Structure 1
Amino acid sequence: MNPHFFKNKVALVTGGASGIGLATCLKLAGQGARIAMLDMDEKALDIQQDIFLCQGYKIFPIACDVTKEQACQSAVSKVLRKFGQIDILFNNAGITQRGLFEKTDTFVFKKVMDVNFYGSLYCTKAALPSLIKTKGTIIVNESIAGVAPLLGRTGYSASKHALHGLFTSLRCELRHKGVHVMVVCPGFIRTNLQKRALGSDGRIATHKQTRVGKEDTPENVANQIVKGIVKKKSILVLTFIGKLSYLISRLFPLWYEYLMTHQFKKEL
């Protein structure tokens, strides 16, 4: 990889104060990028700013609730005033839910969609003029659930399928303008996402989560994302089980439904 590829490029990362977002911020900073870290957790942003400074990296932390369009527009404006450009937008902020559809309140679906889908839409819409000028890269943290069904997570899967439709279509619209769109489909990753999963009533889910295969680390995911940016990957499917699931769901969709249902139904 060209050691100067990311030098002075500006990366805006949502949900950047923890998990995959944080690991990606650190990796990009190490490659010379200037980091705008967005997160709704102001305390976490303050902590990470100090940690990054101790490692010799300056970041621009911005408290932002991505479910609010005006907040996203304001955050992007702050980044442009600070750096003058945006080269990389990583739509990473997300939330999940676990529970049977028939028992899940409809407001839970809306909350998940507001964060996962509309948060990404709002940030992309606001940052797009700059990304077109820089011929930049848009990344969306999707999931295997964005390309295949997932039992007991209908709200989460719906939001991720919506992201897949939006960003693969957007890729077609922006290709001739030099903007690249990369969809990232992690498997099971060791983050706090599942600890904050919403249950059917909107409160934190307490039932045990089903996992398939070994959990990967955010650091490994970040390494693959950074390499994917350089190689202009269209879709980045991660972990062995993730790749296997993606392949089976593409080639044998009904068989995939049967295997996945058998694996996950005991959770519910």
Structure 2
Amino acid sequence: MATPETPKVDLDHLKGKTILITGGASGFGAAFARKWASHGANIIIGDMSDAAGESLVAELRSSTGSQNHCYQHCDVTDWQSQVALFKLAVKQSPSGHIDAVVPNAGISGDTNSSPGNFEDPQGLDGDDPAPPRLKILDVNLTGVMYTVHLAMFWLAKNNTEKAQGKNENQPEGTRDRHILLIGSVASLTPLVGAAQYTASKHAVTGLFRSLRGTAFHRGIRINLLCPHFVKTGLLSDGVMLILAGGGLGEVSDVVEAGTQFMADKTAYGRSVVIGPKLKVEDGDDGEMRLVEIPSAEGEEGKGIWDCFAHDYQSTEAFFYRYTRLLIAFAKMRGWAGWAKDVFNVVFRRK
């Protein structure tokens, strides 16, 4: 379980990149878009939420003075809809190519079979039982596979500056091409009661592990973010009650981790978990121990943890140690922290 210092990456490397983000109208996608656009990237957003997507693009154009940011309605479960989004990105890009792709679109929640959920099937002894609704798999797996398949094609076409008539003195084969996959804590460990979501995110990890062994032959970098439960408006009251007394990660840490991967041309085949900020130190027995819980006022702490993406055999050991820290986090907050979180869920989120 490594806690290396965050490397200093030159964010000027983002300047001029054309980055396609699915599910980019809100949440992590919108946060990525704002950050990367502020450093000169051209952002192409695909989403189902047209009003939010168009509003975000208007904001990006106003804040950056660039008209190269663009939004298009996209249903990631529809192949032709994604094809149209990629073609728009190529057309909109000042260089005529795509530099990076973020298959960010994803859903959670109870969209399984009805009545009951996937793990509690009911009424299947009738004459013509209906199949379960697998919308989560459709979006989180099939949609991601569509995005990555298209990305592998279009990024591979972006093989040189010279081929585009740009920077004629630049050596061939120097363009940075990147796919940033968005997993979850459920990519690495099961979330009890969320079988379909866990299956979809485990599949994203499998995709990452497979592609990182082959994509570099095409000059494409692959990295993976695995956020723990993070402070967004998407967390249900049920999840918040389960986590009461524990801790949540910060969107800013997810953006920081994604930005490091996006800007660092040497980052390849890496995976990080993003969770609540913790301050730890190595114990004499080699285990990490919690020495301080950061306060809301911004005391020092670390929220981004490298989970040894090069050796997933140690994933279970990593989560054993990481979970011990999270449990210690909850214990140190005690009953007061639990009561405060429950109060916020019951009264302030209504």
List aligned pairs for 1:103-122, cutoff 5 A. 103=120, 107-108=132-133, 110-122=134-146
**Pick aligned residue for 1:147 from 177, 180, 188:** 188
**Pick aligned residue for 2:83 from 56, 65, 73:** 73
1:219 paired with 2:234, answer: no
Structure 1 stretch displaced more, 98-107 or 123-132: 98-107
1:239 paired with 2:239, answer: no
CA distance in 2, matches of 1:159, 1:129: 23
Q: In structure 1, what is the equivalent of residue 104 of structure 2?
A: 92
- What is the one-letter code of the residue matched to 1:190? K
Q: In structure 2, what is the equivalent of residue 17 of structure 1?
A: 25
CA distance in 1, matches of 2:321, 2:58: 49
Q: CA deviation at 1:91?
A: 0.8
CA distance in 2, matches of 1:253, 1:2: 31
1:131 paired with 2:155, answer: yes
Higher percent of residues as helix: 1
Q: Deviations over 1:93-114 (max 9, x none)?
A: 1001258643268534x10011
CA distance in 1, matches of 2:49, 2:216: 34
Q: CA deviation at 1:36?
A: 0.3
Contact 1:3 1:31 in 2 (8 A): yes
The count of corresponding residues between Structure 1 and Structure 2 is 250
**Pick aligned residue for 1:250 from 289, 295, 316:** 316
- What is the one-letter code of the residue matched to 1:103? D
- What is the one-letter code of the residue matched to 1:87? D
Structure 1 stretch displaced more, 129-138 or 10-19: 129-138
- What is the one-letter code of the residue matched to 1:173? T
Q: In structure 2, what is the equivalent of residue 40 of structure 1?
A: 48
1:102 paired with 2:119, answer: yes
**Secondary structure of 1:169's partner?**
helix
TM-score by length of 1: 0.82
Q: CA deviation at 1:253?
A: 7.3
**Secondary structure of 2:212's partner?**
helix
Contact 1:24 1:225 in 2 (8 A): yes
Which structure ranks higher in relative contact order (CA pairs < 8 Å, sequence separation ≥ 6)? 1
Unpaired segments ≥5 residues, structure 2: 1-8, 111-115, 123-130, 159-175, 279-302, 309-313, 331-350
**Which has the larger Rg?**
2
TM-score by length of 2: 0.64
CA distance in 1, matches of 2:32, 2:212: 22
Q: Deviations over 1:158-185 (max 9, x none)?
A: 0011111112201211112221111110
CA distance in 1, matches of 2:213, 2:243: 34
CA distance in 1, matches of 2:22, 2:60: 17
Q: CA deviation at 1:140?
A: 1.0
Q: Deviations over 1:141-167 (max 9, x none)?
A: 101101111101101000011111112
Q: 1:158 to 1:81 in 2, by over 3 A?
A: same
Structure 1 stretch displaced more, 96-105 or 133-142: 96-105
Q: 1:104 to 1:9 in 2, by over 3 A?
A: farther
**Secondary structure of 1:5's partner?**
helix
CA distance in 2, matches of 1:148, 1:208: 16
CA distance in 2, matches of 1:136, 1:208: 36
**Pick aligned residue for 1:158 from 192, 199, 207:** 199
Contact 1:24 1:219 in 2 (8 A): no
Unpaired segments ≥5 residues, structure 1: 196-205, 264-268
Contact 1:15 1:38 in 2 (8 A): yes
Q: CA deviation at 1:69?
A: 0.9
CA distance in 1, matches of 2:32, 2:304: 21
- What is the one-letter code of the residue matched to 1:64? C
CA distance in 1, matches of 2:203, 2:185: 13
